Amino acid sequence: MPQASSLPGTTDRRLAALLTLLSENATIVISGARIAREIGVSRSTVWRWVERLRELGVRVKGQQSAGYFLEKVPDILTPDLLRKRMKGKLFGKRVYHFFKTDSTNRVAMELGYAGELEGAVVLAEEQTAGRGRAGRNWHSERGAGLYVTLLLRPRLSPVQAPLLTMLAGLSAHAAIEAQTGLSAELKWPNDLLMSGRKVGGILTEMHAEPTQVRFVIIGIGINTNQEKFPADISATATSLRRESGRTHSRLELLVRLLTEFESDYNRFLREGSSYVVKRFEAASYFANGKRVRVETGHETYFGTTAGLTSEGLLRVKREDGETTTVIAGDVTEAR
Ligand code: BTN
């Protein structure tokens, strides 16, 4: 099994400890000698790492001779901080943190093949090739959004895996609403919208035998503190900050999301798919009575949503009166 701190590119455990030490003593000057002692590295390493943190956008003030302090506690998702908040929980035991990686889904997939345990969490401050659905790219500006992937090893058949995506959608929906106090829309199967614009999305990937899932990874992206977006998505994307007019702690949001997901996941394993389907139908404005346009790749048609099947697939009553089940494809609201 991989070592949580030895995977190439993960944040060095001692670098994270430096950040935690500075964060817990924010605005207090700590001497380089004390830092070196507490985290077990030389003073010159402390100096090099402080430079590194500065390059990564952390506002560390002071100098080698006088000591260092943080002007402001940075909103960085260090494993130590997360572990502390998720004590005794499944998601919080094995945390992989990257300042920069290509995609947390790519990393989690690799960990899955290497035998990593259920409950591992992969986090990045920035993704250079964040993956979206349908081969799209997921815009992943440094420090502005939540980019997280969870590794699960449920005893399920592959056909039940989409229910996990829906479960993650429900958890993200609840976390966003609790964090902002505003309402968000949950679109089948997993888009999160605010004011009709996309604020979050989920990309599930898995490795399975015909009748048994080996592992599933659930990648969740939530636009949190972005002020603006690149031109190609600026008309369709939004962030919690843009909607609520204030910035949000990504750590708080993440803790809400993981706590919510853990309790939902356990209920799903106990109670089965009906729990997810019932909750989704209750939370999603989209699941019933919405006029939609469905694009399957083979055809495009219009109809009205008519609830979910027991596997969580969307029923659509077509204009010709026939009711179909949407397995894959893009479903959008038709006006
Ligand atoms: C979508 O297109 O709606 C799904 C977006 C999923 C983005 C997240 S960000 C964290 C994880 N890592 C990835 O590369 N993608 C997912």
- pLDDT tens digits, one per residue of 303-318: 999 999 998 999 999 9
Pick the more confident residue, 9 or 295: 295
One DSSP character per residue, 75-109 reads ----HHHHHHHTTTSSTTSSEEEESSBS-HHHHHH
Distance CA 196, CA 173 (A): 14
The Cβ of residue 54 has, within 10 Å, a number of other Cβ atoms equal to 12
Question: Which ligand 1 atom sits nearest the alpha carbon of residue 106?
Answer: 14
Question: Which ligand 1 atom sits nearest the alpha carbon of residue 108?
Answer: 12
**pLDDT reported for residue 329:** 72
Question: Which ligand 1 atom sits nearest the alpha carbon of residue 131?
Answer: 14
**Confidence class of residue 142 from pLDDT cuts 50, 70 and 90?**
very high
One DSSP character per residue, 295-316 reads E-SS-EEEEEEEEE-TTSPEEE
**pLDDT reported for residue 221:** 98
**pLDDT reported for residue 74:** 81
204: which residues sit within 8 A by CB, 6+ positions away? 161, 162, 164, 165, 168, 216, 217, 218, 219
| Alpha carbon distances (Å) from 124 to 70, 92, 149, 239, 273 | 21, 15, 9, 18, 31
The Cβ of residue 271 has, within 10 Å, a number of other Cβ atoms equal to 11
Query: Is the model's pLDDT at 4 over the cut of 70?
Result: no
Query: Is the model's pLDDT at 1 over the cut of 90?
Result: no
Distance CA 67, CA 3 (A): 32
Average pLDDT of the segment spanning 255-276: 96
Q: What are phi and psi of 268, to 5 degrees?
A: -60, -45
Instruction: Decide whether any atom of ligand 1 lies within 6 Å of the 204 Cβ.
Output: no
Q: What are phi and psi of 323, to 5 degrees?
A: -100, 125
User: What proportion of the chain, given as a percentage, has pLDDT over 70?
Assistant: 98
**pLDDT reported for residue 229:** 97
State pTM to two decimals: 0.91
- Residue pair 200/185 in contact (Cβ under 8 Å)? The answer is no
**Confidence class of residue 2 from pLDDT cuts 50, 70 and 90?**
low
The two three-digit tokens of residue 162, written as one number: 């989409």
Q: Using alpha carbons only, what angle is made at residue 105 by residues 118 and 250, rounded to the nearest 5 degrees?
A: 85
Q: Which of 121, 164, 220, 233 to mutate to test the pocket of ligand 1 (most atoms within 8 A of CB)?
A: 220
Question: Which ligand 1 atom sits nearest the alpha carbon of residue 140?
Answer: 9
Instruction: Decide whether any atom of ligand 1 lies within 6 Å of the 200 Cβ.
Output: no
For residue 140, which of 177, 194, 183, 99 has the smallest C-alpha distance?
A: 99
Distance CA 150, CA 148 (A): 7
Query: Is the model's pLDDT at 52 over the cut of 90?
Result: no
Q: CA Rg, the chain, in Å?
A: 21
- The residue whose C-alpha atom lies closest to atom 2 belonging to ligand 1 is 132
